[in-house]
Amino acid sequence: MTPRQSLTVAISSRALFDLDESNRVYEEQGLEAYRQYQIERENVPLEPGDAFPFVRKLLSINKLLERAAVEVILLSRNTADTGLRIFNSIREHRLDITRAAFSGGSSPYRYVQAFDCDLFLSTEPEDVARALENGAAAATLLGAPQDANASEELRIAFDGDAVVFSDQAERVFQEAGAKAFGESEAAAADELLAGGPFKAFLGGLHALQREFPQDRCPIRTALITAREAPAHERVIKTLRAWDIRLDESLFLGGRDKAAFLRAFGADVFFDDRRENCEGAQAHTAAGHVPHGVVNADS
């Protein structure tokens, strides 16, 4: 794998900060009232949003490596005028974020590729869907508990099919059932799975991990999948061929993922099934990846 110079993550303003009250003003009173509301409070720092701990821990990696290994870029539907409060809040919270795109009410997804981003997190499902359609790893952040992982270690969990891998195996499950899925995966154990939308992001994380001694790495990753034996073999061989190592791999055989996410201590969990993300919200920030066959009609 070619060494990466940096990992770039785009984040929406509503994912980074708590803008619920501001958004309520916009929805109830309109754009001009919202503009005045933000200008009058532009020196009042915004409270952290659901993605704030994830972003803070990502940026802390730069201090540990003493170089700009990670960059976070703000993408916002605000104008620069109303976005001044957001930049003031970034400064107040001492986040090293210097690049931003304020799209003035339109979707900022088109700047994900322009900034060469490896990941886009937003609270706007439409923006996320468009980013995915254009080849970016993207997820709709659904929320996070108040007592999320308090350690300084960044812990990220991924579902497998339609997230790290393509949905080719999931399609068999949806069309023919669990028995046919198991048989198909056992027969194809030596055939590599195609990459999903989060393959490159996972690869970027692994490249960062390699810059640290294994026993002192500030990033820990986990695959948490409903697969079980014998369907696990194809996954393991695919990751091995990609030269990507996951710290933990949980093959749950259909069991609910929430308790395992709590045990792992995830800061964020990415899954293509919205119901899994909603179930995970009590324990971690959850990113719904609207990709693959289970999201075909959404």
Domain ranges in the chain are: 7-139, 154-295
Catalytic site residue from 50, 127, 159, 267: 159
Whether the pLDDT of residue 146 is over 70: the answer is no
Q: Is the pLDDT of residue 148 over 70?
A: no
Residue in 264, 38, 296 with CA at minimum distance from that of residue 170: 296
Q: How far apart are CA 9 and CA 259, in angstroms?
A: 28
| DSSP designation for 99 | -
User: 61-67 contacts: CB < 8 A, separation 24 or more?
Assistant: 61/154, 61/208, 61/218, 61/219, 62/96, 64/212, 64/218, 65/211
In this predicted model, which residue has the larger pLDDT, 88 or 185? 88
Q: Which CATH architecture describes the domain 7-139?
A: 3-Layer(aba) Sandwich (3.40)
The pTM score is: 0.92
The pLDDT mean for the chain works out to: 90
pLDDT for 181 beyond 60: yes
Is 215 labeled as catalytic in the residue annotation?
no
Question: Where does 154-295 sit in CATH, by number?
Answer: 3.40.50.1000
Who's near 275: CB < 8 A, 6+ residues apart?
none
pLDDT digits (tens, 9 = 90+) for 65-120: 999 999 999 999 888 888 899 999 999 999 999 999 999 888 888 899 999 999 99
What is the reported pLDDT for 173? 82
* 7-139 and 154-295 have identical folds: yes
Q: How confident is the model at residue 209 (pLDDT cuts 50, 70, 90)?
A: very high
